[in-house]
Structure formats: structure tokens, C-alpha cells
Structure 1
Amino acid sequence: MKAYIAAPLFNDAEKAFNLTVDEAVRGAGFGTFLPQRDGGEAAPLVRMGMNEHEVRRRLFDLDTAAVAECAVLVMVVDGRVPDEGACVELGMAHALGKVCVGLQTDSRRFGGTDSNNLMVDYALTGGMVRTLPDLTALLRDVFRTLAGT
């Protein structure tokens, strides 16, 4: 069973954290699709001389196919606002009936409350956690449920 990790990947800190999230998800028993590792990043590929439109289209197609094939989507909701690409991936996964789980270690929230934008909060049908150990525990339960054990 695979989990898709939807997260920002625009600086070294985000990419390093995503690798840590990937370890936690794998620790719960899932295989993973991590876009920065399994698809690639557009900017470095374009800097290497590849056609920008072709790179962006290939990554879009690859990521949307991976969302469709996953059993679970794990979204990193950290940041001043959630990453817009991750929001689109969450919307697709939710529309496809996938289990969607959020991880938000960041204390910033929508409107200063303990909530995010309602379109994010209510699409996270599998729940929201605040720590990596809690993510692993939640995903172990999700894995058991999906596996029927």
C-alpha cells in the first residue's frame, strides 16, 4: 500500500523535513511516493536545460497519477499558509475517496484559531496530528483498517 506525501519542497529545510516525514510514513508500513524524490523538481531540471513546459507537464502527470494510485495522502500543512500544490493534491485525493491525513507541526493557524481553511480541514478525513510519532501511530491504525486486519 502506498501513501503520497503532499508537502512544500522549495528549500533545503522543507526537503529535509519531507524526508523525515517519509521515514515516519514508512515506519507505519506504507510504501511512499515523495514527489521530490520520485518525480523530481522542476526548477533544477529547467536549469539543466530541459524545456520548462515539458518538465512541468511531466511532473504534473506523474504526480496526479501517483495521487490516483495511492491509498492514503499525507499532507504537511506547515507554513504561513498551506502549500498550494499540496492543497490541489489534497483536493484530488479527497475527490477520489482516498484517506487524507494532515501533519501540522507549525503553530500558525487560519485566522488565529486552532483551525485551518475549512477546505483543508474537512478534506483531511483521516485526521490531523501535530507530531511525527502521532503521525506514525495514526497511520498504523489506517494501515490496519485498509488491510482489514
Structure 2
Amino acid sequence: MNASPRVYCAGPLFNASERAEMAEIAAHLERDGFSTFLPHRDGLEFAKLKPALHARGLGEREASLVLARAVFSLDTFELLRKADAVVVNLNGRVPDEGAVVEAALAWHSGKALVLYKHDARSKLSGEDNPMVTGLGRFSVCAHIAELPAAIRAELARPRGADAAGTVALGERVAAFRAAHSDEAAIADFLIASAGRATPVSA
């Protein structure tokens, strides 16, 4: 790990207020001793590069495809190869789809991953979508000030067992569900098997 842990900041970047919020997250982490990668600041921007590609003879579709491939590749490289941790901003009516992909990449690769949301929208029975919050072990920071400690805790945690443990738990749930139709028995099994936020390793 780097002397100054590098954090990839993922989240919505499609208007000025979203970009300002992402910049605020990065600035807070930098003040706390982290280095950050902020895609709209440190990566490639469609709006700035498209005119240069057009000037070199690329049509609209070809320029868009060149930029899409480059952005996808650069951001994936920064996340998987250079970042020690990933912070995902889930604010919005629904989480930004690119940020959800980045969270899934981080989770599957065993990166330290911290979710952040102070927006009350998009709740499902008082909770966010478990396919998203599960990536952060069902823990979501509600305040920017909580992020540095949460990142340090995740960096200190042993890496690599989340995906295997989740798949193993899913396999046990599937087998039990196939053999039992009684909701009470299934509920008892779920409490015994999935009663903790962190999946049990196989």
C-alpha cells in the first residue's frame, strides 16, 4: 500500500452540484492525508476532448467511441491498479450507474470499499437496494466526516474473502430454499445463516 493511501472517488458527475459534491469528498480526504483520483478532475472529459477529436477528422460516433473506450480503460486502471480504496457516493434518486459498476469492480477485486450517502431518496423499506449496499458489507457512511475512519478501517481489514463468502452463503440459501417451502423454517435458517452483515467465508 502507498504511504499515502490512494482513494478512487466514484459518484455522479453530470452537473455542477454533483461535481462540487465529489470535489468536496476528495478535498476532505486529502485534508486527512489521503491522495485521491477524481475522474472529472484527473481523468478524461468528453466535452473537452471531443472538439480535438473532431478537428482530427473523427465523426461524432467515432469520437464518442474512442472517448468511451479511453474513459472506461483509464478509470478501470486507476481503480484496479492504482487505488488502495474506493469511496462510492450513492446520493441521488438512484445511485449513478457508473459508480455502481465501479463499486462492483472494487468489491469483486477485493479493494477496500466504503459507501457514502446522506440523501434520503430511493429507500426500499427504509433501506437502499441490497445489491448495492451489500458491496459495502451493508454499511453506509451518512456524513463526509466519517469517511476517513471508515476507509482506514476497511484498509486494515483482511481482504479477498467477501466475494467467496457471499457466493458460499448464497449457495447455502439456494439449497435450503430448494428443500423447504415453509416461510418460518426459511426465516429461522436466514437468521442463523445470514444474520450478520459480513458474509461468512466458505
Q: Same fold (TM over 0.5)?
A: yes
Q: Corresponding residue for 1:92? A: 105
Is 2:108 the partner of 1:117?
A: no
Q: Corresponding residue for 2:180? A: none
Pair 127,27 (structure 1): closer, same or farther in 2 beyond 3 Å: farther
- 3-state SS of the aligned residue for 2:102? helix
Q: CA deviation at 1:43?
A: 3.5
Q: Corresponding residue for 1:57? A: 69
- 3-state SS of the aligned residue for 2:135? coil
Report the identity percentage.
Answer: 34
Write 1 or 2 for the structure with the bigger share of helix. Answer: 2
Q: CA deviation at 1:45?
A: 2.5
- Cα RMSD (Å): 1.8
Q: CA deviation at 1:7?
A: 0.6
TM-score (norm 1): 0.87
Trace 1:36-75 onto structure 2 (pairs within 5 A).
36-46=40-50, 48-50=51-53, 51-69=63-81, 70-75=83-88
Cα offsets for 1:27-85 (capped at 9, x unmatched) = 33221111001112223422x24221111111110000011021111000000000000
Structure 2 unmatched ranges of 5 or more: 54-62, 158-202
Q: Corresponding residue for 2:116? A: 103
TM-score (norm 2): 0.65
Pair 53,107 (structure 1): closer, same or farther in 2 beyond 3 Å: same
Q: Corresponding residue for 1:132? A: 144
Structure 1 unmatched ranges of 5 or more: none
Cα offsets for 1:114-136 (capped at 9, x unmatched) = 31111110101383111111223
Write 1 or 2 for the structure with the bigger share of strand. Answer: 1
Instruction: Give the counterpart letter for 1:2 in structure 2.
Output: R
Q: Corresponding residue for 2:195? A: none
Q: Larger C-alpha radius of gyration, 1 or 2? A: 2
* Contact kept? 1:101, 1:124, Cα under 8 Å: yes
Structure 1 CA distance, aligned partners of 2:114 and 2:18? 18
* Contact kept? 1:25, 1:139, Cα under 8 Å: no
* Contact kept? 1:27, 1:136, Cα under 8 Å: no
- 3-state SS of the aligned residue for 2:44? coil
Pair 29,99 (structure 1): closer, same or farther in 2 beyond 3 Å: same
